[in-house]
């Protein structure tokens, strides 16, 4: 990943937090560093800089880390990688969108209903879909889940629904 990144602080909504709300409390804000967007089609080859946990976004259309808005209508999926890496999760999304098959002709992935619908609307074509990695503190993986849930909640509040390919 190139060094061109930007930090985005999300103020944790106090009514959802079980922690005391103080400036020194790590639950007070979530810090995400957005990396350079990478075309989803590039995930056929290894991308070692994304062998990390974090959150990630599938977005239609190119952008830069400086003008990326995680709540933009162009965001079609918000995901997390905790037990897997951002690279491995996004490679699975590429295989889902292109309906990649195993040797026995079974699908390589088992996407949710809305991701399947999104894939069909895209006609199995990943062109124009970009991954925006969101790197976070690896020492606190629970915050990765918090960030994903927070962003899904904020997206739904803003647009009335989850991103197009998110099921939950």
In a domain, 149, yes or no: yes
In a domain, 168, yes or no: no
In a domain, 165, yes or no: no
pLDDT of residue 4: 45
pLDDT digits (tens, 9 = 90+) for 4-42: 444 444 444 433 333 333 344 554 567 889 999 999 999
In a domain, 16, yes or no: yes
In a domain, 34, yes or no: yes
Tokens of 92: 């699975």
In a domain, 24, yes or no: yes
Mean pLDDT of 139-145: 90
Backbone angles phi, psi at 7, to 5 degrees: -95, 140
Q: Residue 99 sits in which domain range?
A: 6-159
In a domain, 13, yes or no: yes
Backbone angles phi, psi at 130, to 5 degrees: -120, 145
Backbone angles phi, psi at 57, to 5 degrees: -130, 135
Which of these ranges, 9-13, 46-50, 64-68, 89-93, has the smallest mean pLDDT?
A: 9-13
Q: How many domains does the chain have?
A: 1
Q: Is the pTM of this model over 0.85?
A: no
Comparing C-alpha atoms, which of 18, 54, 10, 32 is closest to residue 150? 10
Tokens of 108: 């390589």
In a domain, 62, yes or no: yes
Report how far residue 116's alpha carbon sits from residue 137's, in angstroms, rounded to the nearest whole number: 31
Cα 40 to chain centroid distance, Å, stands at: 12
Burial of residue 54 (number of CB atoms within 10 Å: 0-12, 13-18, 19+) = buried
Report how far residue 113's alpha carbon sits from residue 108's, in angstroms, rounded to the nearest whole number: 16
């Amino acid at each position: 990943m190139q060094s061109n990144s930007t930090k985005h602080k999300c103020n944790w909504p106090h009514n959802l937090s079980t922690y005391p709300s103080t400036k020194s409390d790590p639950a007070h804000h979530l810090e995400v560093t957005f990396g350079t967007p990478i075309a989803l089609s590039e995930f056929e080859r290894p991308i070692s800089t994304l062998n990390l946990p974090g959150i990630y976004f599938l977005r239609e259309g190119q952008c830069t880390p400086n003008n990326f808005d995680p709540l933009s209508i162009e965001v079609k999926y918000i995901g997390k990688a905790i037990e897997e890496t951002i690279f491995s999760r996004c490679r699975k999304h590429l295989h889902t969108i292109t309906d990649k098959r195993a040797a026995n002709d079974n699908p390589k992935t088992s996407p949710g209903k809305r991701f399947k619908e999104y894939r069909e609307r895209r006609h199995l074509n990943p062109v124009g879909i970009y991954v925006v990695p969101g790197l976070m503190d690896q020492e606190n993986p629970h915050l990765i889940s918090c960030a994903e849930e927070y962003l899904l909640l904020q997206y739904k509040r803003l647009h009335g629904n989850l991103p197009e390919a998110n099921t939950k």
